[in-house]
């Protein structure tokens, strides 16, 4: 008899899990339960910026799920998990029995204890509904005044989308710098100077004391330092928390998230967890952590899906990584970027907004920080190659000194140390990754090849 796999959630962890299940088992019954359409939260800023329509944030449509043989229960929530009875109760009063259950319920924005956060025009930006609410609330206002409370990774992703729309932006951060859990003080200073050059006002080392309504419905944001800022919209981005309410009374062990092993299995047999809600293995540490980023969610989902159908796949651990464009300045941090015990190689050029910091234990990279314009960073593919050093945990030997002396020539060390060969031989599930097969409106991806790419592609052996 075919097994029944129930998946709670509709983000990247959930969709990658069900697609992986289908790779290994064409007969299994799969049911996906989610109160929202299946979509990628990281695509919401592209919709907000006007780059894509809302439907392009979706990671599957009815035809896609039908082709995969997945029963979808969208618009419903799981109200209760009966771990002993292997069943879940849904918000419409129905129930589902399962052989394996995957909890991929994600995370939710934290609500700070600030008077006035319940006012109209004060909101987080975390869901499809939140994004639509913001676009509706600013419709007809060519340059709305926005105060963003929180200058962390998520907050500045949202900021970048609003910057692309040309909105009037102010940021308030209680820490002494922007991106306090992603950048060190020196690189954050470069980012803040860049933001100022783009007419984004930044208030650090102060908190929002209250939010009230002024004349004409505008919001008055009162800061602890005595300043008051008038705004049309206030966005709250002060952190997130894993959605753990569902596991109350189930016996599932949790900390900041559901504690899972290298197979994404929780402390309760046949119940798995993946994505933002899962606290699992990480690189460079024996501790388990929540890494609320899409690459980790994708890997979690694939590993969980494989193990749910009897494969023996062990996750090597997620790499802490944050990549965000701040009004045209690219910023990146990887791994143990704040390890005070690590040996550091640093290049800093504040005038040109360039910062590179490589952190070492012996001859292995354990962390990195980068800031720079696209031509100085992303277009060089340096951040991708440094990520490869970390993922493969390659001992660089003599190439360490070369990188310390030539931090802008990452490619030579990347090839010389054999990192490319290691990555080519590395797979998560023991086989090559397959195309998801779902594309918005059936459009096939197109690669735009410039002159710099053509010289390499044109000489590729046929």
* Span(s) in the chain for CATH 3.50.50.60: 4-108+241-308, 122-238
- 416: helix, strand or coil: helix
pLDDT of residue 458: 57
> From CA 273, how far away is CA 117, in angstroms rounded?
32
Number of separate helices (H) and strands (E) present in the chain: 12, 26
pLDDT of residue 460: 52
Query: What superfamily does domain 328-424 belong to in CATH?
Result: FAD/NAD-linked reductase, C-terminal dimerisation domain (3.30.390.30)
Within the chain, which residues score under 50 in pLDDT? none
pLDDT of residue 452: 57
pLDDT of residue 444: 78
Cβ-based neighbours of 295, under 8 Å, separated by 6 or more:
318, 319, 321
Give the pairing type, strands 4-8 and 29-34: parallel
pLDDT of residue 462: 53
Give the global pTM.
0.94
pLDDT of residue 454: 66
- What does the DSSP assignment read for 350-409? GGGTEEEEEEEETTEEEEEEEEE-GGGTGGGTHHHHHHHHHHHT-B-THHHHHHHH-TT-
Please give the CATH number for the structural domain made up of 122-238: 3.50.50.60
pLDDT of residue 17: 98
- 101: helix, strand or coil: strand
* Span(s) in the chain for CATH 3.30.390.30: 328-424
* Length of the chain, in residues: 462
- What does the DSSP assignment read for 300-354? HHHHHHHHHTT-------BPPEEEEEETTEEEEEEESTT-TTSEEEEEEEGGGTE
Please give the CATH number for the structural domain made up of 4-108+241-308: 3.50.50.60
Closest CA to 213 of 111, 109, 115: 115
Instruction: Count the alpha carbons within 13 Å of 148 in the hemisphere toward its beta carbon.
Output: 27
Cβ-based neighbours of 249, under 8 Å, separated by 6 or more:
none
The kind and range of the H/E element at 178 are none
């Amino acid at each position: 008899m075919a097994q029944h796999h129930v998946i709670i959630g509709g983000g990247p962890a959930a969709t990658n899990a069900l697609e992986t299940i289908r790779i290994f088992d064409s007969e299994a019954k799969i049911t996906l339960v989610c109160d929202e359409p299946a979509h990628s939260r990281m695509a919401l800023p592209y919709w907000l910026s006007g780059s894509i329509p809302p439907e392009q944030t979706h990671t599957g449509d009815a035809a896609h799920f039908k082709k995969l043989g997945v029963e979808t229960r969208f618009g419903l929530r799981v109200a209760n998990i009966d771990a002993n009875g292997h069943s879940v109760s849904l918000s419409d009063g129905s129930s589902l029995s399962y052989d394996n259950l995957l909890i991929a319920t994600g995370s939710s924005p934290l609500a700070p204890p600030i008077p006035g956060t319940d006012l109209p025009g004060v909101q987080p930006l975390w869901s499809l509904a939140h994004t639509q609410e913001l676009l509706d609330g600013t419709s007809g206002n060519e340059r709305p005044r926005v105060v963003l409370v929180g200058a962390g990774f998520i907050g500045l992703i949202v900021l970048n989308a609003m910057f692309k729309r040309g909105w009037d932006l102010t940021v308030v951060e209680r820490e002494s710098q922007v991106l306090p859990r992603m950048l060190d003080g020196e690189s954050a200073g470069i980012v803040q100077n860049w933001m100022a050059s783009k007419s984004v006002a930044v208030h650090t080392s102060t908190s929002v004391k209250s939010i009230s309504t002024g004349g004409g419905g505008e919001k008055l944001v009162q800061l602890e330092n005595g300043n008051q800022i008038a705004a049309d919209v206030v966005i709250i981005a002060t952190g997130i928390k894993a959605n753990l309410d569902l596991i109350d009374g189930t016996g599932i062990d949790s900390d900041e998230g559901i504690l899972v092993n290298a197979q994404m299995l929780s402390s309760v047999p046949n119940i798995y967890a993946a994505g933002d809600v899962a606290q699992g293995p990480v690189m460079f540490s024996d501790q388990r952590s929540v890494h609320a980023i899409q690459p980790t969610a994708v890997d979690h989902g694939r590993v969980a899906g494989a193990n749910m159908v009897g494969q023996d796949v062990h996750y090597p651990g997620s790499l802490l990584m944050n990549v965000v464009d701040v009004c045209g300045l690219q910023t990146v941090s990887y791994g143990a970027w704040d390890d005070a015990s690590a040996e550091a190689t640093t290049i800093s050029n504040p005038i040109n907004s360039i910062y590179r910091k490589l952190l070492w234990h012996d001859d292995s990279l354990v962390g990195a920080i980068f800031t720079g314009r696209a031509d100085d960073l992303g277009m060089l593919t340096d951040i991708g190659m440094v990520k490869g050093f970390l993922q493969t945990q390659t001992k660089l030997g003599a190439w360490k000194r070369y990188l310390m002396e030539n931090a802008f020539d990452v490619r030579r060390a990347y090839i010389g140390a054999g990192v490319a060969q290691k990555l080519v031989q590395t797979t998560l599930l023991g086989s090559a990754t397959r195309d998801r097969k779902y594309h918005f409106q059936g459009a096939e991806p197109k690669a735009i090849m410039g002159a710099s790419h053509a010289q390499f592609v044109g000489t590729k052996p046929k």
